Chain A
């Protein structure tokens, strides 16, 4: 790793320093606007739409996403774009056009609260508890990854990096609440775009353009659809699992129900802006593969180029560590100056990933757990105090998780597995909740539990690879109840797991709902269920501003990209 260790100069440090001053400065300026708990947790529903849109995108574009997508670019090529053009865009448009009216239009202040209004308290409690644990765990994972990376690349002390980062995030989130997090997410968006684009430009120049790069890569790397007729492609996934598992179940389950991203849209000024938030996010989202996936392909092609002297570094296990694609390209191409900008962008995205999780956590904790089950009917200033307390608490628990991640092997893989079980079926619950008025609280709750259980069992009986005699599959990868189904990759196993969990949840929720009495009357479900909600009047908006029209434009663009890189 020595050859790739990055040396920052005073110039690079000053670029990083300016960023930290600006984000903390934003926190201090916003402090005066934080007058009530809803200002702090919900931004008082007052943020302009271009800001909520870019924050919506950015909240998902954490550093792990950037690093992970570059790694996938090196492993699978342009096929990785399936995570964007199939696994994100349609769901974002569906959220904007069909689901946002129920989130923004109801009295709900969070996604779990929507479930409380639509179904009952137990469904909310289940969702809120799972979400709260998930956010602090991902915030901790983000923190650990950042500190480990800074230690590896810059030789910084792990503990110091970890604590310093936490203090910076705490400083601006505690002052400016959700607004602070949203504004820094937008800064991070511009930093990522402006900090990483030179990397792609120089890299492609070096390789002789797009065709020069492709000539050094396997044929399969050039296509996203051509080889999905069978599982004989880099991802080992065929089209049905890809479209239904990733494009529908997982993608809609994340984009249409995850409070971390939806919270950004709910901070918009009015219904029209809330619905346009995911659409505004979708435009740059479509183009992100060129900034985050292409570097992975550049790195792989560069290793093939004679005399480049470049290689993706090996990890502790002695195998190529694809997660180091971005840092090693930064070290290879960028001189001091731009180096500082790119490193600042990387650190900014870790920090804003953490801030995003912490601000979603404090809202769900304060409204859905504390106010609902621990202390209801207190004054606003009491909840404001609790929100700040939860912010500090969320960061302290994140630090705890970071150390657990550092010291316990596989713990993050395990948690990710568990979150996968919980998340896989959840879109069935929301779909039935919003579009079928007969769905009941018992149906939703037990349907969700059945879906999760189905995911656990499916994991136990399936293997991500064919089992050869005498070789065992590590239990974390599945088959701990025997390998009754074998797949060609973990990804294929994961997509099928999602399909099964979702289907079980759907069928069980419908069956149990039909067998139980309705708990909510038509009157109570007004604004929460499609057929009982008056249609939104859009006639006062110009045609091109209407979410459905914008949505169709985005989908058309996504279609064109799919065809170009088919």
Chain B
């Protein structure tokens, strides 16, 4: 079977990472972060999701090239 699940996982989390990182960057210091103890959790966690998503995409791409 030539379906590689790493590709949709990569796409999904890269998209989530981008959305949260960009939104986090634009809302830095906003009141919405009172809930999360003042941490811009969208930006922080967004970057982590982005790294995970890109890593999965990278694995999928590498397997494709072989």
Binding site for B on A (CB under 8 A): 11, 14-15, 18-19, 22, 25-26, 29-30, 33, 44, 46-48, 51, 179, 183, 186-187, 190, 194, 198, 202, 205-206, 332-338, 341
What would be 30 A-B contacts, judged by CB atoms less than 8 Å apart? A11-B19, A14-B19, A22-B11, A22-B12, A25-B8, A44-B1, A46-B1, A48-B5, A51-B5, A179-B1, A183-B8, A186-B5, A190-B13, A190-B52, A194-B13, A194-B45, A194-B48, A202-B36, A202-B37, A202-B39, A205-B37, A334-B36, A335-B33, A335-B41, A335-B42, A337-B24, A337-B46, A338-B36, A338-B42, A341-B16
C-alpha gap A14/B18 in the complex (Å): 13
Residues of chain B lying within 8 A (CB to CB) of residue A183: 3, 5, 8
C-alpha gap A44/B3 in the complex (Å): 13
Known: A18-B12, A44-B1, A183-B5. A338 touches B37 (CB 8 A): no
B20 within 8 A of partner (CB): yes
Distance in Å: Cβ of A104 to nearest Cβ of chain B: 18
C-alpha gap A22/B49 in the complex (Å): 16
Residues of chain A lying within 8 A (CB to CB) of residue B13: 190, 194
B65 within 8 A of partner (CB): no
Distance in Å: Cβ of B20 to nearest Cβ of chain A: 5
Given A179-B1, A334-B36, A336-B32, 17 other A-B residues pairs in contact with their CB atoms under 8 A: A19-B12, A33-B1, A46-B1, A47-B1, A51-B5, A183-B3, A187-B12, A190-B13, A194-B45, A202-B36, A202-B41, A332-B35, A334-B35, A335-B42, A337-B24, A338-B41, A341-B45
Closest to A39 in B: B1
Counting chain B CB atoms within 10 Å of each CB, the highest count among A14, A18, A332, A337 belongs to A337
B15 within 8 A of partner (CB): yes
Contact A18–B32 (Cβ < 8 Å):
no
B9 within 8 A of partner (CB): yes
C-alpha gap A26/B11 in the complex (Å): 12
Residues of chain B lying within 8 A (CB to CB) of residue A206: 37
C-alpha gap A183/B11 in the complex (Å): 14
Residues of chain A lying within 8 A (CB to CB) of residue B45: 194, 198, 338, 341
Known: A186-B9, A334-B35, A334-B36. A18 touches B42 (CB 8 A): no
C-alpha gap A205/B42 in the complex (Å): 16
C-alpha gap A61/B13 in the complex (Å): 20
C-alpha gap A22/B14 in the complex (Å): 12
Residue in A29, A46, A333 whose CB lies within 8 Å of B36? A333
Distance in Å: Cβ of B26 to nearest Cβ of chain A: 11
Distance in Å: Cβ of B31 to nearest Cβ of chain A: 9
Residues of chain A lying within 8 A (CB to CB) of residue B46: 337
C-alpha gap A190/B32 in the complex (Å): 25
Residues of chain A lying within 8 A (CB to CB) of residue B37: 202, 205-206
Q: Interface majority SS on A: helix, strand, loop or mixed?
A: helix
- Report B14-66 residues with CB < 8 Å from chain A CB: 15-16, 19-20, 23-24, 32-33, 35-37, 39, 41-42, 45-46, 48-49, 52
C-alpha gap A335/B34 in the complex (Å): 8
Residues of chain B lying within 8 A (CB to CB) of residue A14: 19
Residues of chain B lying within 8 A (CB to CB) of residue A341: 16, 20, 45
Known: A337-B42, A341-B16. A26 touches B8 (CB 8 A): yes
Residues of chain B lying within 8 A (CB to CB) of residue A33: 1, 3
Closest to A186 in B: B5
Distance in Å: Cβ of A366 to nearest Cβ of chain B: 21
Residues of chain B lying within 8 A (CB to CB) of residue A48: 5
Counting chain A CB atoms within 10 Å of each CB, the highest count among B9, B16, B20, B45 belongs to B16
Residues of chain A lying within 8 A (CB to CB) of residue B3: 29-30, 33, 179, 183
Distance in Å: Cβ of B36 to nearest Cβ of chain A: 5
C-alpha gap A441/B13 in the complex (Å): 51
Distance in Å: Cβ of A284 to nearest Cβ of chain B: 15
Known: A44-B1, A202-B41. A187 touches B9 (CB 8 A): yes
Counting chain A CB atoms within 10 Å of each CB, the highest count among B32, B35, B48 belongs to B35
Contact B11–A338 (Cβ < 8 Å):
no
C-alpha gap A338/B17 in the complex (Å): 10
Residues of chain A lying within 8 A (CB to CB) of residue B35: 332-335
Residues of chain A lying within 8 A (CB to CB) of residue B32: 335-336
Contact A18–B15 (Cβ < 8 Å):
yes
Closest to A32 in B: B3
Residues of chain A lying within 8 A (CB to CB) of residue B41: 198, 202, 334-335, 338
Contact A337–B5 (Cβ < 8 Å):
no
Distance in Å: Cβ of B14 to nearest Cβ of chain A: 11
C-alpha gap A205/B41 in the complex (Å): 13
C-alpha gap A478/B35 in the complex (Å): 45
Residue in B1, B9, B39 whose CB lies within 8 Å of A190? B9
Contact A187–B36 (Cβ < 8 Å):
no
Distance in Å: Cβ of A184 to nearest Cβ of chain B: 9
Residues of chain B lying within 8 A (CB to CB) of residue A334: 35-36, 41
Contact B8–A187 (Cβ < 8 Å):
yes
C-alpha gap A337/B45 in the complex (Å): 10
Contact B8–A15 (Cβ < 8 Å):
no
C-alpha gap A223/B53 in the complex (Å): 37
Contact A194–B9 (Cβ < 8 Å):
no
Counting chain B CB atoms within 10 Å of each CB, the highest count among A46, A183, A194 belongs to A194
C-alpha gap A18/B39 in the complex (Å): 26
Closest to A191 in B: B12
Distance in Å: Cβ of A123 to nearest Cβ of chain B: 34
Residues of chain B lying within 8 A (CB to CB) of residue A30: 3
Contact A18–B9 (Cβ < 8 Å):
no
C-alpha gap A423/B58 in the complex (Å): 44
C-alpha gap A220/B48 in the complex (Å): 36
C-alpha gap A47/B1 in the complex (Å): 8
Residues of chain B lying within 8 A (CB to CB) of residue A202: 36-37, 39, 41
